[in-house]
Structure 1
Amino acid sequence: MPTLKPECAARGQSGTATAAPPRANLAASPRSTHRRRRRSALLPSVLTFAVIVASGGLLLLIEKGMLNGMHTPAPLANAKQTDHQHRVAPRDPAVDVESQILQDIRNRTIRAMCGQQNSDHSVWSMSSPQRKTLLQHILVNEKYRFLYCYVPKVACSNWKRVLKVLSGALADVHVHLKMDHHADLLFLSDFTPDEIRHRLRTYFKFMFVREPMARLLSAYRNKFGEIKAYQHKYGAEIVRRYRKGYAKKGKVAGDDVTFPEFVRYLLDEDPERMNEHWMPIYNLCQPCAVQYNFIGSYERLEGDAAYVLERVGAPQDVRFPERQAWYKPVTKETLHYYLCTVPQKLLRELLPKYILDFSLFGYPLPNVTTDYCRH
């Protein structure tokens, strides 16, 4: 079997909203009436989602389809800040009000769900395999004192470029070199337990998330459409397992795996033993055991990345890389097409495997009803 190096999405869809900085002085703004209207319009849908999540009713709602049309926000920053970090200048007060509301709701949701008895509340209470996965996915920057939990297919290649620039291993984020996902990078797993505890307690911690089904589709198109090693190792096995007449075939290319076949494969996999490119984000970064100061989103990548770089005190000339010319974004239309090729029964069985990614990070469940797929 070939040795597989982790690869990550190069760039997300551009966005204009950034994550929540410190609360602004609302009384100083002349647009207070407008802001109150925006708050009143925003609260019902967000609060409804938070109540549903906190009550643990998402699995039931999958069957009833009640979340299909609900709008929910992209994830925002955790309210905690460490003393050694630089403060970020306040933004437009109206935007800050919305961000603060969503931040408060999201933090309450995470606390409520992570407060369940079956959740790990410490890195050291996890099983050895879980802890190993987590520590191998948290990158460390000693100079700027931050920890970044990378999630494959959520722009982590570019974040690794940024980390290499900040550590002096790379001259510029735009240097055209094939990304080595291990060289010149420091992982939390490289440290002793006491050193790990110190960094988890004192360093600024952040991660980035993505709509779960869009992330799966991105992994599917990249690994089975472009990467020979994944076609040979995973694709051939999937074809033999789920395609009639191929169970005993000796030589299978594995380069024509269909998306429904990929979904069938995921249904039979243990989330804790999945390949990192389709392992749930929750299992990779364990947000109940690690209290992240900031959780940015792929959908707001441009603004959220700029916020993080300013927050950690990175030099102003270090900017998050722009999207590569070859990158193929997963659009809403593309995702709709692929999801509607999968039998509804399979999708209903798949969603619970990623339910924590949907609920903790504020993503609505996809609409895969027959009526929706007719359009």
Structure 2
Amino acid sequence: MPPSRAAGARSGSAGAPGSTGRRGSTVLPSVLTFLVIVASGGLLLLIERGMLNGLETPPPRRADRGPEPARRDQAAVDTESQILQEIRNRTIRTVCGQKNMPHSVWSLSPQQRKTLLQHLLVNDQHRFLYCYVPKVACSNWKRVLKVLTGALESVDVNVKMDHRSDLVFLSSMKPEEIRFRLKHYFKFMFVREPMERLLSAYRNKFGEIEAYQKKYGVEIVRRYRKGRAKEASAGDDVTFTEFVHYLLDEDAERMNEHWMPVYNLCQPCAIPYDFIGSYESLERDAEFVLQRVGAPDHVRFPARQTWYKPVTTETLHYYLCSLPQKLLRELLPKYILDFSLFTYPLPNTTAKFCRH
């Protein structure tokens, strides 16, 4: 099986179940159970049944074979990547085959379709669609797109990223133009561990961005903080617990894109993505995509900026363990499809785990 096929979520089904209210979840318990089983046991099942025979891994665009031990190490990494892609593919096909799922982009609700098309970036020269997900290296991907079109000379040009100019969105096109590109273009997206992405958005937007502090922070404090402390808040001191309270009361389909579930942003049932890359293997997966779309060799994925502050395992552990267990139990269902479809294990926040 060629890599582009192995990497694809080849489902003809579509749709996003709506997400409503604080305690509501439209995902059926049986489906939830299935998803958790797949995410936790799918890897062993695939290995046992030998479903990876014949899968190939694309060679790097730059012909550097390297020493023999390095090649063996790379082969192990490539096999792991193919396993992950195959698990995702099978999970997505099964879940998206449920009868309650719409069957195409045009079966989505107007709100769902609007969100999706506004997040699909188009490159006609190299015939691909990229669904961007905030807090999953989307700024760097937008730089790559601008270099491919000549709007930027290099990904290293030191300019503030304009997230709208010199980019083509699928939402700007006519229905027949949309249909053609959905059918014939290479389609890809990148995902990240859901709680890590959420924490990254919280720290960035409420710790550094004044516009978010004023627009969202002040309102969050007003709603969820008791006593006189809320009166003096400028929205720059929102606690993670207050942020989670806010998320629980938000409709997933109308959230800000920085904390909207990836499922709602990119609709992996409605779009048969050819490749779903991971933030955890960003450089390797980005290289594969650039090779697959035929990008010139001088176009590379940008290195992370020196000022970038990653969310470490220890940091995520600290924030999740600081949450009341009841809040976390209510939060996870909002992101359960992100966990399950993209094979991320649910976080362990038991009392014993959190004591360490």
TM-score with structure 2 setting the length? 0.81
User: Partners in 1 of 2:78 and 2:198 — Cα distance?
Assistant: 32
* 8 A Cα contact 2:221 2:238, kept in partner: yes
* 8 A Cα contact 2:4 2:274, kept in partner: no
What are the equivalent positions in structure 2 for 1:98-113 lying under 5 Å apart? Answer: 98-113=80-95
Q: Which has the higher helix share?
A: 2
Which 5+ residue runs of structure 2 have no aligned equivalent?
Answer: 7-27, 45-51, 61-70
* 8 A Cα contact 2:189 2:276, kept in partner: yes
* 8 A Cα contact 1:216 1:278, kept in partner: yes
1:268 aligns with 2:249: yes
Which residue, 165, 171, 177 being the options, matches 1:183?
A: 165
Post-superposition CA distance 1:163-217 (Å, at most 9, x none): 0000110000000000000000000001100000000000000000000000000
Name 1:253's counterpart in structure 2: 234
Name 1:350's counterpart in structure 2: 331
What are the equivalent positions in structure 2 for 1:137-152 lying under 5 Å apart? Answer: 137-152=119-134
Which residue, 276, 287, 294 being the options, matches 1:313?
A: 294
1:297 aligns with 2:274: no
Name 2:66's counterpart in structure 1: none
Name 2:207's counterpart in structure 1: 225
Change in CA separation of 1:320 and 1:97 when aligned onto 2, cut-off 3 Å: closer
Name 1:199's counterpart in structure 2: 181
User: Partners in 2 of 1:239 and 1:170 — Cα distance?
Assistant: 40
Other structure's SS at 1:56 match: helix
* 8 A Cα contact 2:221 2:233, kept in partner: yes
Name 1:372's counterpart in structure 2: 353
Name 1:15's counterpart in structure 2: none
Report deviation, 1:101.
3.9
* 8 A Cα contact 2:218 2:234, kept in partner: yes
Percent identity, aligned pairs only?
72
Report deviation, 1:108.
1.4
User: Partners in 2 of 1:67 and 1:257 — Cα distance?
Assistant: 36
Which 5+ residue runs of structure 1 have no aligned equivalent?
Answer: 1-18, 24-52, 74-78, 80-86
Report deviation, 1:93.
5.2
Name 2:147's counterpart in structure 1: 165
Which residue, 264, 274, 289 being the options, matches 1:283?
A: 264
Aligned residues: 311
Name 2:31's counterpart in structure 1: 56
TM-score with structure 1 setting the length? 0.77
Report deviation, 1:104.
2.8
Report deviation, 1:20.
4.9
* 8 A Cα contact 2:190 2:279, kept in partner: yes
Name 1:27's counterpart in structure 2: none
Name 2:67's counterpart in structure 1: none
Other structure's SS at 1:340 match: helix
Report deviation, 1:145.
0.5
Other structure's SS at 1:296 match: strand
Other structure's SS at 2:276 match: strand
Change in CA separation of 1:94 and 1:236 when aligned onto 2, cut-off 3 Å: closer
* 8 A Cα contact 1:154 1:209, kept in partner: yes
Change in CA separation of 1:242 and 1:322 when aligned onto 2, cut-off 3 Å: same
The AA in structure 2 aligned to 1:156 is: C
User: Partners in 2 of 1:153 and 1:146 — Cα distance?
Assistant: 21
Which residue, 152, 155, 172 being the options, matches 2:137?
A: 155
Report deviation, 1:116.
1.3
Report deviation, 1:68.
11
User: Partners in 2 of 1:185 and 1:288 — Cα distance?
Assistant: 25
The AA in structure 1 aligned to 2:128 is: F
Report deviation, 1:115.
1.0
